[in-house]
Amino acid sequence: MKDFITETHKQQCVDTLKELIAIPSVLNEGEAGTPFGKNIQKALETTLELAKRLGFETYIDPKGYYGYAEIGEGDTLIAILCHLDVVPAGDLTKWETNPFEGVIKDNQLFGRGSQDDKGPTVATMYAVKALLDAGVSFNKRVRFIYGTDEETLWRCMARYNELEEVADMGFAPDSSFPLTYAEKGLLQVKITGKGSSDLALELGQAFNVVPGKALYEGQHQNDLKENLKALGYAYETTNEGVVVLGEAKHSKDAAEGVNAIIRLIEGLSPIQSHPAIDFLLTHVGHDGTGGQLFGVIEDEPSGRLSFNVAGLTIDEQHSEIRIDMRIPVLADKEKLVKQLSETVKKYGLVYEEFDYVEPLYVPLDSELIQTLLKVYREMTGDMSPAMTSGGATFARTMKNCVAFGAAFPHTLLTEHQENERIPLDDLYQAMAIYAETIYQLLML
């Protein structure tokens, strides 16, 4: 295998990455004239201008939802699925550097987006530039698709798929090597019902987090504490009330967490009742796999279903349970929905779908996966098997696409955290892998 990457490509990649990190492309829907905020729009326009300088033909959605850069010719389209939006910086006091200034320290490039997903995006773009500089002929079209809403609702890719050509194959450089060939379906639902005049709860935060704490502010705090003690559940007493403690995890790993909401309502149920509580304790309980509700739901490619009770609201007007499910790729989503809907109906509750993202599944023996694995293994010597995930990447927005890098098995994952960073050696190695991979895909 030829090494297409030169020192010039490495330096240009770092300089460009610094330029993009300096744009704080965090969602801000309140700014007029753009769907997701002026900084996200600036990141998109800056990236497309860079692509144009590298030799790509570019296009930007008139409404600003997405853009793409394309090079090559022919009927076959290879997609590189990237995103330019980032999560907020978090606690600035915990950063060793300015989160929106790319800083090299200890041979690592610090900055928000360095790992997720500006660093891998730029590395892949310069991988293509290296192929061009080496005189490689692009007999297929390679299209970088730049999303702007990946960290929230994926509205960018929904609009792209509504209006644009779907790729024949491709990958998202927004995960880990060697590659992820199956991603569970993501279903987020709300179970609504009547309110309560004597019970008020506002529990949980994001859909994708197992609640690690649950606060009770009502009049039965002493009785609740006695029940929690009898159950052996940890809690804290604060000025606000009783805080029941669990263990937070990502929803995809719900079975590994301890759901503080379930612990709280279990302690509360002998004191106060409500249909939402009755449903949760009878049919969900502490099982993060949905086993009490559905039985065992699993498949060979992607494992078992995960079921997270992410939030619970009860007030005078209404009640709402918020649930995040990661559904195995071969499971029947509609059958699960029907079963859940019929069960909650018995409690006077109503099923409402909030969001659904279809699963990703590309068979291991496919030409795409075999090509990517061969390149990665020959260039690294790492024979790790391809992976499955309960997480979600843009790869699942198109058929025959997978998540491929850019983090290595040894890489410390810092995305969404303070001091997000990418080791420069990893950046350069990923660039080399992407160059060889795209070269091999052109040869198919």
Beta partners for residue 306, in sequence order = 326
User: Distance (Å, rounded) from C-alpha 122 to C-alpha 19?
Assistant: 11
Catalytic site residues? Answer: 85, 150
CB 394 within 8 A of CB 83: yes
Which amino acid type is present at position 66? Y
Q: Which residue has the tokens 């690294």?
A: 380
Please calculate the CA angle 96-113-178 and round it to the nearest 5 degrees. 110
CB proximity list for 133: less than 8 A, separation 6 or greater: 4, 6, 9
Percent helix, strand, coil in the chain (nearest 5)?
35, 25, 40
User: Distance (Å, rounded) from C-alpha 76 to C-alpha 263?
Assistant: 53
| Joined tokens for residue 435 | 């160059």
Distance, C-alpha 39 to centroid of its chain: 21
* Strands 387-389 vs 180-183: parallel, antiparallel or unpaired: parallel
Q: Is residue 144 classed as helix, strand or coil in its secondary structure?
A: strand
Distance, C-alpha 355 to centroid of its chain: 14
| Joined tokens for residue 270 | 């002998």
User: Distance (Å, rounded) from C-alpha 177 to C-alpha 199?
Assistant: 48
User: Distance (Å, rounded) from C-alpha 300 to C-alpha 348?
Assistant: 36
| Joined tokens for residue 38 | 């002026």
Q: Is 41 exposed, middle or buried (0-12, 13-18, 19+ CB in 10 A)?
A: buried
Residue in 335, 325, 323 with CA at minimum distance from that of residue 304: 325
User: Distance (Å, rounded) from C-alpha 72 to C-alpha 159?
Assistant: 24
Look at the alpha carbons of 12, 18, 23, 24 in this order and tell me if their dihedral is positive or negative.
positive
User: Distance (Å, rounded) from C-alpha 183 to C-alpha 7?
Assistant: 36
| Joined tokens for residue 180 | 């992820």
User: Distance (Å, rounded) from C-alpha 150 to C-alpha 84?
Assistant: 8
CB 304 within 8 A of CB 328: yes
Q: Is the peptide bond before 260 cis (omega within 30 degrees of 0)?
A: no
